Amino acid sequence: MSMTAEPIVEAVGLTVDFASAKGPIRAVSGVDLSLKPGETLALLGESGSGKSVSLRALMRLHPSSAKIGGSVRVDGRDVLAMSARELSAYRGKIVSMIFQDPGLAFDPVYRIGDQIAEAVMRHERVSRAEARKRALELFERVRIPSPERRLDNYPHEMSGGMRQRAMIALALACRPKVLLADEPTTALDATVQIQVLLLLRELQREFGLAIVFVTHDVGVAVEIADRIAVMYAGRIVESGPCADVIRNAAHPYTRGLLSSRSHGALGKDERLKAIPGSPPDLAAPPPGCAFGPRCESFAEVCGSAMPDNVVVSSSHIARCVRLAIRNSSQPGG
Ligand X SMILES: Nc1ncnc2c1ncn2[C@@H]1O[C@H](COP(=O)(O)OP(=O)(O)OP(=O)(O)O)[C@@H](O)[C@H]1O
Cα–Cα distance list, 167 to 79, 115, 122, 144 (Å): 24, 11, 17, 11
Nearest-angstrom CA–CA distance, 171 and 175: 8
Nearer to ligand X, 57 or 312 (CB): 57
194 with 141: CB under 8 angstroms?
A: no
Q: What is the dihedral of CA 79, 56, 103, 206, to 10 degrees?
A: 70
54 with 14: CB under 8 angstroms?
A: yes
Asked if residue 51 binds ligand X (CB under 6 A), the reply is yes
Nearer to ligand X, 47 or 88 (CB): 47
Asked if residue 53 binds ligand X (CB under 6 A), the reply is yes
Out of Mg ion, ligand X, none, what residue 50 binds, judged by CB under 5 to 8 A for its kind, is ligand X
State which of residues 34, 49, 52, 309 lies at the interface with Mg ion (CB under 5 A): 52
227 with 239: CB under 8 angstroms?
A: yes
Window of 47-55, 112-120, 236-244, 248-256 that interacts with Mg ion by CB under 5 A: 47-55
State which of residues 29, 49, 164, 185 lies at the interface with ligand X (CB under 6 A): 49
Q: Give residues with Cβ within 8 angstroms of 113, minimum separation 6.
A: 132, 135, 136, 139, 150, 151, 152, 153
- Nearest distance from residue 40's CB to ligand X, in Å? 18
DSSP strand pairing (227-232 vs 40-44): parallel
Nearer to ligand X, 15 or 100 (CB): 100
- Amino acid identity of residue 284, one-letter, is A
Asked if residue 115 binds ligand X (CB under 6 A), the reply is no
Q: Give residues with Cβ within 8 angstroms of 246, minimum separation 6.
A: 218, 222, 228, 258
Nearer to Mg ion, 44 or 79 (CB): 44
Residues 206-265 that bind ligand X (CB under 6 A): none
- Nearest distance from residue 51's CB to Mg ion, in Å? 5
State which of residues 63, 108, 276, 332 lies at the interface with ligand X (CB under 6 A): 63
> Residues in the site for Mg ion, rule: CB under 5 A?
51-52, 100
> Residues in the site for ligand X, rule: CB under 6 A?
18, 20, 27, 45, 47-53, 63, 100, 282
